[in-house]
């Protein structure tokens, strides 16, 4: 492999993380490389429960939508809006993945 010392993969979505799971599984023992995704899809949560993926970051899409609409309405009313709106995230690991199983 081109990068034999790699310790972790962080993907910006779970589909890419699951692709890394498949690619790495052919070359390294399960768990040898930490694989972390984003979005907490059902497939990623299952992979975490099975030990094939290390973690995924859960966002709050409903809250993101609600806060976006509130910001848009405020802008239309001529009000100032904070350029950064934090809606929070939660790290899903083997310890809490069962709560997120869909």
Range of the domain at 15: 8-60+87-93
**For residue 98, is it within any domain?**
no
**For residue 45, is it within any domain?**
yes
**For residue 73, is it within any domain?**
no
**For residue 53, is it within any domain?**
yes
Confidence at 99, pLDDT banded by 50, 70, 90: very high
pLDDT of residue 1: 61
**For residue 34, is it within any domain?**
yes
**For residue 16, is it within any domain?**
yes
Give the mean pLDDT of 57-73: 95
CATH number of domain containing 13: 3.40.50.2300
Give the mean pLDDT of 78-84: 95
* C-alpha distance from residue 75 to each of 64, 65, 78 (Å): 16, 15, 5
pLDDT of residue 101: 84
**Domain total of the chain:** 1
Looking at every residue in the chain, the average pLDDT score rounds to 93
pLDDT of residue 16: 97
**For residue 1, is it within any domain?**
no
| pLDDT, tens only, 24-51 | 888 887 778 999 999 999 999 999 999 9
> What's the rounded Cα separation, in Å, for the pair 102 and 100?
6
DSSP string, 9-78: EE-SSHHHHHHHHHHHHTTS-TTSSEEEEES--HHHHHHHHTTS--EEEE--HHHHHHHHHHHHHHHHTT
pTM: 0.82
């Amino acid at each position: 492999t081109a990068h034999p010392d790699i310790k972790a993969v962080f993907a910006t979505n779970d589909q890419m993380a699951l692709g890394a799971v498949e690619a790495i599984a052919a070359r390294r023992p399960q768990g040898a490389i930490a694989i972390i995704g984003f979005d907490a899809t059902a497939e990623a949560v299952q992979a975490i429960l099975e030990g094939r993926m290390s973690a995924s970051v859960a966002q709050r899409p409903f809250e993101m939508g609600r806060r976006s609409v509130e910001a848009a309405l405020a802008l239309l009313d001529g009000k100032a809006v904070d350029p950064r709106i934090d809606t929070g995230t939660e790290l899903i690991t083997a310890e809490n993945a069962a709560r997120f199983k869909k």
